[in-house]
A and B are shown apart, each in its own frame.
Chain A
Amino acid sequence: MEWGTRVGVILAVSGSAVGLGNFLRFPGQAAAHGGGAFMIPYFCALLLLALPIGWAEWAMARHGGERGFHSGPAILGMVGRGRIARYFGVIAVLVPMVVYMYYVYIEAWCLRYAWEYLIGGIQLTGPVDQQVQKAAEFFGHATGTNTDGVLNMSAVFWLIVVTINIILVFRGLRGGIEKFCQFALPAMAILAVIVLIRVLTLGTPHPDHPDQNVLNGLGFLWNPDFSKLSDFETWLAAAGQVFFSLSVGFGVILNYASYLKKKDDIALSGFTASATNELFEVGFGGLITITAAFVFLGASGVGGGFGLGFQTLPVVFAQMGGIGRWVGFAWFFLLFLAAITSSISMLQPVKTFFEEALGISSGKAIAWVSIVCGLGSFWVMWFSKNMVALNTMDFWVGTFCIFLLATVQIICFGWVWGVEKGAAELDQGALMKIPRPFFFIMKYVAPAYLLVVLVGFILSNGRAEAIALKGNPVALWTVGVIVLVIVLLIAMVAVGERRWRAAGLDLDGKQ
């Protein structure tokens, strides 16, 4: 199994990175943490954490792939020289697997909204207050956030997106993932430009509210508030946003880059994938959502996350008149494409791990992965009230475990494998020379920065989340589901370990 073209693999990694967070999470985080000033900790985290750790992942992955390993536990075990790193490598499968379980459900919302806009199914009429109420009602109905245990029309869309995901991953890297991303990424860029042009030409749609104009909307997000820079939370939020956005610490790059050949470039590829993600995040996400919401609803109507994307923006589209339906379709189809290029990248490393650990065919692996992930995803869909199951998985796996995996990876890379070997690997076939200070950053700065972020994250969020579990049986059971998945993956690593040793593979990186 291998990639078809150099650009193909970059688009696949970029597709993995560009997701809902670029358009919904980033603008909300920036607006809440100092606006333009947020870009200072944001670009610091990008240069000192995400980019170097990303390069480390590309290097470890290709090195592992050359020795016959394509899954996170096997690659980290080899680079980290032993069992401890290998079992920590379970996180590189746990993260994509569990995140896929809830991500694919959100993906179904995107497809459903796009479909409803296409057929004219979302009709928000009356004054703005009524539109806001109707949008909230539609969101509750479409996502099941009002009650547990109800399957609605979104379940049908869930089935459709799950099937598309399975088919694309089953078709393989070149025929499925690469081919789809070669279509999806340019399509996303075109849709984003269309929506952006419409937003930037809105002017002042309500003459009785002259302050609600495009420039003030941009200012709402970009005007800097330097006082926020003294708040540790701002630095934490910036590091978190960069991480979630770039798919670093996700286990995806470890798998994707393991299929590259020794003479293939990884330095420029890693850089280009990060740059593409930043273009979508800052260049489009930073201009579209909050500006549009501000222009029609004012400062009080601007929020972040799902509320902004699925409740506020439909009201904005309704305010646009006849064209709003088509802008709405373009927006939600853009979100759907962004989501599916990410979700297939989560399924692929899990499938690879099943294949590699159990020694089964690709078809059987995708069948088992579909069953396990399908059950987990069904859990999220069933316990949808207030998104408790979704939020629990997102916090413990989609947030905490990402930091943890990134820490394990950069320690394995910088301190066990060694930056000299890592640098040699990155230089092999490189189309750009990585500035040498980055290797100092990889060894000293990134691990220290990451440990501070990890401890800060635990102190500011971990305790509150742990206490919240006590009074919430659904959240507690969801943690149980996560633990069950961890046990399953650990058992599979044990099985795989025996197989790899019997096959004479260098699983501890001794050679």
Chain B
Amino acid sequence: MTTGGWIFMLSSLVLVWGTTIWAYRRLLTAPHEDRSDKP
């Protein structure tokens, strides 16, 4: 594995894991959803 390979693999993995963790964290810490039909 070349240095370029390591750079592309690790940056891609950090990007996909990072965005997924950020997204779910934000989603799960958001105010509790109210799914009733009240306006």
Which A residues have a C-beta under 8 Å from some C-beta of B? 2, 4-7, 10, 35-37, 39, 43, 215-216, 218-219, 222-224, 261, 263-265, 268-269, 271-272, 275-276, 278-279, 281-283, 286, 431-432
Contact = CB atoms under 8 A, between A and B. Distances in A.
B33 A6 contact: yes
A463 B5 CA distance: 36
A4 B26 CA distance: 19
B23 A271 contact: yes
Contacts, number: 87
Interface residues of B, number: 26
B13 A283 contact: yes
Contact of A275 (B4, B7, B23, B37): B23
A46 to B, nearest CB: 10
Interface of B: 1-2, 4-9, 12-13, 15-17, 19-20, 22-24, 26-28, 30, 33-35, 37
Contacts of A7: 27-28
Given A219-B1, A268-B23, A271-B23, A261 B35 contact: yes
A219 B7 CA distance: 11
B20 A36 contact: no
The interface centre, meaning the residue of A4, A222, A223 with most chain B CB atoms within 10 A of its CB, is A222
Given A6-B33, A283-B16, A432-B26, 14 more contacts: A6-B30, A215-B1, A219-B5, A222-B5, A222-B6, A222-B8, A224-B4, A261-B35, A272-B24, A275-B16, A275-B19, A276-B20, A278-B20, A283-B17
Contacts of A37: 8
A431 B8 contact: no
Given A6-B27, A10-B27, A36-B4, A282 B20 contact: no
Contacts of B9: 36, 218, 222, 286
Contact of B1 (A216, A271, A286): A216
Given A7-B27, A268-B26, A272-B24, A278 B5 contact: no
Contacts of B30: 6, 265, 268, 431
B19 to A, nearest CB: 4
Nearest to A214: B1
Contact of A219 (B2, B13, B27): B2
Contact of B12 (A39, A215, A276): A39
Contacts of B34: 263
Contacts of A10: 27
Nearest to A263: B34
B24 to A, nearest CB: 6
A341 B32 CA distance: 27
Nearest 10 A/B pairs, CB to CB: A36-B8, A219-B1, A223-B5, A272-B23, A222-B5, A222-B9, A275-B20, A275-B19, A224-B4, A278-B16
Contacts of A278: 16, 19-20
Given A275-B19, A283-B13, A283-B17, A223 B1 contact: yes
Nearest to B4: A224
A224 B9 CA distance: 10
A268 B22 CA distance: 10
Contacts of B24: 272
Contacts of B23: 268, 271-272, 275-276
Contacts of A263: 34
A223 to B, nearest CB: 4
Nearest to A281: B16
Nearest to A432: B26
B3 to A, nearest CB: 9
Nearest to A269: B27
Contacts of A216: 1
A279 B33 CA distance: 26
B26 A282 contact: no
Nearest to B34: A263
Contacts of A4: 35
A315 to B, nearest CB: 23
Contacts of A269: 27
A279 to B, nearest CB: 5
